[in-house]
Every structure is written in C-alpha cells, then in structure tokens.
Amino acid sequence: MAQAFAGVWKIQKIEGAEEYFNAIGHAEMAKDIANITEIEVQVDGKTVTTISKFEGKDNKVDIVVLDETTEKEGPDGVKIVSKAYMDGATFRQEGSAGNDNWKVIRYIQDGASISEIIAKGTTLKITMVKA
C-alpha cells in the first residue's frame, strides 16, 4: 500500500552516489543529493507526489499515478517514460530515459524507507527515517 511511504523523511544514509551518477553521466548530481534536507511523500488515491527539498535550491517535485505510464522531458531534453506500481508492499517505478533503462524499488524496513535506484549496472541506495 502506497500510504506506508507517506510523510516527511530525512536522509539517514546514501550509498553508491558517486558511482551511480558517474555511470549515468551526471556526476554533478552526487553533490546535489547530499544537499537534500528532507523528502516529503504525499499519497492521494493512486497519485504519489514526492517533494525533494534541497538546501539553497528549488524543490524538485515528481508526480506519478500508479499503474499509468508517465512521459516527461528531463532537464537535459531527453524524453523520460516511466510506470509506477505497487508490488505487494514494494513501490516500484520502471522506465527509460532515451535509450537507457532504470528502475526504482522502494520498501519499508525496520521503520525506514529504503530506495534503490538502479541504472547502467549501478545502484544508488538511500535510507530515510521519519522526520
């Protein structure tokens, strides 16, 4: 159930950021992710809104509708296509950016929200606790 991910979260641990962002060609984003002050997840029916709040920068808002395909343009002009869905208690999002495929797997473990973002053979793992 997506509602388990709702709330305000603080990042506790980030693993594999440099390797992941180097692999996808955006090395500068490794520093950006370290400046996230909190992540707010709102769930309204099948709509999941994630608001990433950065220190000294504008918020990043990502909205997906479960079980629907979403298309948008990335900051570098590349077309991003994705689909988000629940797989039991796991929130999954799979998609492509240009010719590259990626996936996000989110789950709750011991009260923490774990996100594993996988692309180009690398994994970025973010562990968050309720704020």
Domain boundaries, the chain: 2-130
- What is the rounded average pLDDT of the residues 9-29? 94
- pTM exceeding 0.75: yes
- Nearest by Cα to 50 from 62, 37, 66: 62
Q: What is the pLDDT of residues 39-93, one digit of tens each?
A: 999 999 999 999 999 988 899 999 999 999 999 888 778 899 999 999 999 999 9
2-130: CATH, from 3.60.10.10, 2.40.128.20, 3.30.750.24, 3.40.50.720:
2.40.128.20
Q: How much of the chain exceeds pLDDT 90, in percent?
A: 80
| Three-state SS at 130 | strand
pLDDT confidence bin for 121, thresholds 50/70/90 = very high
Contact 74, 62 (CB under 8 A): no
